[in-house]
Amino acid sequence: MKILVSWLRELVDVPVAPAKLASDLHMAGFEVASVEPPPGVSAVRDDAVIDLEITANRPDCLSVIGIAREVATLYDTPLRTPAIAPLPPADASRAGELRVTIEDASRCPRYCGALAEVRIAPSPGWMQQRLAAAGVRAINNIVDITNYVLLELGHPMHAFDLSRLDGHELRVRTARPGERITTLDGQERTLAADMLVIADAVRPQALGGVMGGAGSEVSSATTVIALESAWFEPAGIRRTSKRLGLSTEASYRFERGADVEAPPVALARACALLEATAAGRALPGWVDAYPAPRERRQVSLDTGRVARVLGADVPSGEVIRILEGLGFDVRVRQGVGSAHVASAVNRPADAATETLEAATLDVTVPSWRVDVSRDIDLVEEIARHFGYDRLPTTFPTLETTPAAPDRRLERDRLVRRLAASAGFAEAVTFSFVERQAALSFAAESALVEILNPLSEQFAVLRPSLLPGVVDAVAHNRRRGQDDARLFEVGTTFTTDGGERRSLGLAWVGAGAPGHWSGSGRAVDFFDMKGAVELMASGLGLLVEFTPADRPFLVRGRAAVIVAVAGERCPVGVIGQLAPALAAAREIPAQAEVYVAEIDLDAAADLAASPAMFSSVPPSRHPAVVRDISIVVDDTLPAAIVRGTIHAAAPATLVRVREFDRYQGKGVPDRRVSLSYRLTFQAPDRTLTDAEVQRAMTDIVQSLVTGHGAVQR
């Protein structure tokens, strides 16, 4: 919201320079985007344009008078609202030739309208200057007046050319199937059945609360206008705006919650401006269709709660001054009697220091404060204007034992520590990804689409962490970081699996640190496999790897990560990223990228408590080590060979480790020589050579029978 300081000064005395005003507004909880000179001025002096970023819960501040009210309270100075003559009593359905009908009162509880004779011309220079400062283009005097009222009071309006309304009628209804409208931006739009329209007797003439239609646009030939000032239900306006991809100044305010009491005030202000600028005159009579008037909310506030929440004693007079300055009506129920408290203007100078002991304030919330419904909301208003800098820094008193941390948070912290210990750095990527990137890692039927994406790059929720982590690796390589190890812990989304917590890993470049002896080498599958095994062990999981076929991984260098916990359950994948996907991210073919992803939710369901210390003391008896070399098919996973060895061996086999793999001269094609070191040890005695030999014989026989192995 851009505010011209000179416009603000018409409504409230601002005792400070624009830069100081911006600083004080920031201290009162407003985000200041910029302080710039007005249009046509080179420097900020007595006047400036302050650009405030208004949060979604404060639609009342999307206006000059809303900010003026905050400034008046901030500096304890009177607020001068624009002089608006009250309108005469209204009719509920007709004003002269104009007839108004509300068919859907739940979507439009209030609709005001009036007729005016007009002369189309440029608006006055002062009005054009103020509109330009707020970033609004001047069009003609009628349109400019409606925009001026929107900026000044925060309430959107619209003007129809009466001669272009069939039947001189405005009917508030939902769209009929297949209806179309050409809006003021020149776009023809097909309407859905739940979209609210303002129609004449035949066709839609405006999208209620969003944008007017070209069919009844005010033009140079217009002589009589129908002025609209209404209130629309926020959710419906937001739904229409998002579905059509059409965001306007009007929809921006209505979808956040406008003031239901503002329509007649805005209409009266527009009629006054018509005469003040010689743009025309309002015709007798006006419509106020308001079938079910709404009551203002009532909130009770215990003054003792203010001190308990803020940790500071705010004088009761100051509490009342702040609330009344912001437009709240305050009555004291107990502590100082039931009389209405004097206004801030008439209250004695020392009233701000008076104390109401055990007082309860009955506060009537103004209609424009749609964000206030509880006493804590009032405490927040008091804190903002009392001054956050005046609140002491204290720790709250603990009245109950803090709840135990969520186990998922502890698990995520553990995974981060494990990944960091394996040499990976954490990456944080978007939960939204490009559709094509997501399709590389998941089926189209599994994708969760975003209904109104910010751009094509954020079209779907990520079904996997790998697109983001691989993109982060590519980002690092483009900036000269050829060796990159990244991980991310985050949530993935699919239509069949819902939300799942996952760990994604990507590794490119060196598999081991470079050394002057030339021992450095590129990362390979087994480096990533070792990292996954480390993390699985830290999570209390025993994992195996079985060959896999995934379109995003290189065949023969891809595996499913299987957790062995009573039964075998897949918990992730690992392998080399397909060169085509790497090339699409400008990663050269010679830079092999290895990735892995683990479903942490599935892993947590299967994991045992990781053993920090062994409960079995080490044996005092010597171990016996035997080596064995066998030739098997080169497609046989080493994990299966280890499993066969363990199955055939007695309990005294305590360790199996591969120490050599050879293919070449002396080994047939499609075969490989594997060498294993087997360690035997008993906890209660020294093993004999005969016992170990029998175990070795059984192991060799099982390998021959099960895998066609040949001992070397």
Q: Residue ranges per domain, the chain?
A: 2-75, 94-289, 298-389, 408-606, 624-711
Q: How confident is the model at residue 692 (pLDDT cuts 50, 70, 90)?
A: very high
Q: So what's the pLDDT on residue 353?
A: 44
Mean pLDDT of the chain: 90
Q: Which CATH superfamily is domain 624-711 in?
A: Ferrodoxin-fold anticodon-binding domain (3.30.70.380)
pLDDT higher than 60, residue 265: yes
CA Rg, the chain, in Å?
A: 37
Return the H-helix or E-strand segment holding 319: helix 316-325
Q: Which of 81-85, 539-543, 678-682 has the highest mean pLDDT?
A: 678-682
> Please, which pLDDT band fits residue 11 given cuts at 50, 70 and 90?
very high
Of the candidates 498, 432, 503, which has an alpha carbon nearest to the alpha carbon of residue 465? 503
Q: What's residue 398's pLDDT? A: 78
Least confident of 339-353, 396-410, 592-606: 339-353
Work out the pLDDT band at 397, boundaries 50, 70, 90.
confident
Minimum mean pLDDT range among 150-154, 233-237, 456-460: 456-460
* Both structure tokens of 657: 């480790």
Instruction: Give residue 616's pLDDT.
Output: 65
To the nearest 10 degrees (0 to 180), the angle between helices 125-133 and 141-153 is 50
Angle between helices 18-27 and 64-75 (to 10 degrees): 80
The three-class DSSP label of residue 706 is helix
Cβ atoms < 10 Å from Cβ of 345: 7
pLDDT in tens, 512-550: 777 777 767 889 999 999 999 999 998 888 888 988 999
Between these two residues, 520 and 202, which has the higher pLDDT value?
202
Percent helix, strand and coil across the chain, each to the nearest 5: 30, 30, 40
DSSP 8-state assignment for residue 388: G
Greater confidence (451 vs 439) lies with 439
What percent of the chain lies above the pLDDT cut of 70? 95
Predicted local distance difference test score (pLDDT) of residue 618: 81
Residue 164 CA to its chain's centroid (Å): 43
Closest by Cα among 85, 50, 46, 55 to 71: 50
**Using 50, 70 and 90 to split pLDDT, how confident is the model at 338?**
very low
In terms of phi and psi (left: phi > 0; alpha: psi -120 to 50; beta: otherwise), the region of 149 is alpha
At 614, the pLDDT band (50, 70, 90 cuts) reads low
Most confident segment among 27-41, 253-267, 394-408, 649-663: 253-267
Q: Tell me 349's DSSP state.
A: G
Of the chain, the percentage scoring pLDDT greater than 90 comes to 74
Residue 85 confidence (pLDDT)? 83
Q: Classify domain 298-389 at the CATH topology level.
A: Phenylalanyl-tRNA Synthetase; Chain B, domain 1 (3.30.56)
Looking at residue 86, its pLDDT comes to: 82
Q: Residue 536 has what pLDDT?
A: 92
| Cβ–Cβ < 8 Å for 312, 392 | yes
Superfamily of domain 94-289: Phenylalanyl-trna Synthetase, Chain B, domain 3 (3.50.40.10)
pLDDT of 185 reads 93
Residue 337 scores a pLDDT above 50: no
State the alpha helices, DSSP H only, in 41-124. 64-75
Across the range 462-472, mean pLDDT stands at 95
User: Of 117-131, 333-347, 630-644, 668-682, where does mean pLDDT reach its minimum?
Assistant: 333-347
Per-residue pLDDT of 409-430, as tens digits, reads 889 999 999 999 999 999 999 9
CA distance 279 to 295: 36
- Determine the Cα–Cα distance for residues 109 and 233; give it in Å rounded to an integer: 8
Q: Which residue has the tokens 């040499």?
A: 423
Residue (of 394, 420, 635) closest to 531 by Cα position: 420
**Residue 322 tokens, joined:** 């702040």
**SS3 of residue 238 by DSSP:** helix
> Tokens 């308990």 appear where?
308
pLDDT higher than 80, residue 155: yes
Q: How many CB atoms lie within 10 A of CB 444?
A: 10
Torsion of CA 583, 587, 590, 593, to 10 degrees: -100
Digit-coded pLDDT (tens) for 358-385: 588 999 999 999 999 999 999 999 999 9
Query: What 8-state DSSP symbol labels residue 91?
Result: B
Strands 624-633 and 710-711: antiparallel
Of 499 and 565, more confident: 499
Lowest-pLDDT range, 188-192, 280-284, 287-291, 512-516? 512-516
| Candidates 3.30.930.10, 3.20.20.80, 3.40.630.30, 3.90.1640.30; CATH matching 408-606 | 3.30.930.10
CA–CA distance, 308 with 312 (Å, rounded to integer) = 7
pLDDT at 356 over 50: no
Looking at the DSSP assignment, which residues form a beta bridge with residue 117? 224, 281
Angle at Cα 128 formed by Cα 125 and Cα 130, nearest 5°?
A: 110
Q: Which of 28-37, 41-50, 426-435, 476-485 has the lowest mean pLDDT?
A: 41-50
Question: What is the dihedral angle through the alpha carbons of 220, 226, 232, 235, rounded to the nearest 10 degrees?
Answer: -30
* pLDDT attached to residue 394: 77
Mean pLDDT of 635-661: 90
Tokens at 45, concatenated: 């002096």
Helices (H), 277-302: none
Residue type, 77: T
pLDDT at position 407 over 90: no
Decide yes or no: CATH 3.30.56.10 for domain 2-75. Answer: yes
Q: Quick one: residue 708, left, alpha or beta (phi over 0 = left, psi -120 to 50 = alpha)?
A: left
Q: Which residues contact 667 (CB under 8 A, 6 or more apart)?
A: 631, 673
* Residue 357 pLDDT exceeds 60: no
**Do 408-606 and 624-711 fold alike per CATH?**
no
- CA dihedral of residues 70, 74, 80, 82 (deg, nearest 10): -20
pLDDT for 336 beyond 50: no
| DSSP annotation string for 6-25 | HHHHTTB---S-HHHHHHHH
